[in-house]
Amino acid sequence: MLHLQNYFTIAQQEELLELARNIAAINGGMTTPTMPNGARYNCSQTSCGQVGWISDRKGYRYSKLNPESNKPFAAMPAELTEIARKLAILVDEPDYQPETCLINFYAASTKSRLGLHQDNTEHNLKPCIISISLGDDCIFSIGGNNRKDPTTELILRAGDALILHGKSRLAFHAVKKILPGTSNLLKNHGRLNLTFRQVY
């Protein structure tokens, strides 16, 4: 795992935020997905790229079509593709192909969170996962490749990049808590997370 603190300047964070807003607008806004058990997520999301990650009663999977509009997801901006490839080089993955970017928004509330999970719905489980944090800090928890493995907590702040690669690629992880008011990047506070994956 590679944690790059303050990797993006304030100006770069503002540019990333604008890109994310444009993607959400093209897709018709953010949505709050449903888990296979019927429960609603504690964050809203959208995607861009060749495919988008979706969750509903049918399970977790990737789709070429946005289920909300039945249209393709917004294309991934060249700026995001370049950022993901540059970050992948840092973990010795020069051939990395960012095929999707999942954008999660966590409201400025202590109820906003994402439970312990493993990113394993990709067809190719070897390429790294790249995560960019914008907005409020969060308490991030990461463990091993088994759900019951001990976990470690760290703070992810605006401008941080986190790369799960090698043995950490399939590590269980969670967003345990948002720390409201720790950043002024978003008008109404909250946290925005951009996660890049090579799916195939």
Residues contacting residue 161 through CB under 8 Å, at least 6 positions apart: 2, 3, 4, 7, 8, 87, 130, 131, 132, 133
Distance CA 23, CA 187 (A): 18
With vertex at residue 119, the alpha carbon angle to CA 95 and CA 92, rounded to the nearest 5 degrees, is: 25
Which structural domain range is residue 182 located in? 2-197
Q: How many domains, the chain? A: 1
Can you spell out the DSSP letters for 95-126? Answer: T----EEEEEEE-SSTT--EEEE----SS--S
Residue of 33, 196, 6 whose CA lies nearest to 114:
33
Region of 48 (left: φ > 0; alpha: ψ -120 to 50; beta: rest) is beta
Distance CA 145, CA 141 (A): 13
3-state SS class at 137: strand
Task: Provide the pLDDT for residue 110.
Answer: 78
Provide the token pair at 136: 């409020």
Q: For residue 52, what is the domain's CATH number?
A: 2.60.120.590
Per-residue confidence in pLDDT tens, the chain, 200 aa: 999 999 999 999 999 999 999 999 999 999 999 999 999 999 999 999 999 999 999 999 999 999 989 999 999 999 999 999 999 999 999 999 999 999 999 999 878 999 999 999 999 999 999 999 999 999 999 999 999 999 999 999 999 999 999 999 999 999 999 999 999 999 999 999 999 999 99
Task: Provide the pLDDT for residue 111.
Answer: 86
Q: Which residues pair with 189 in a beta bridge?
A: none
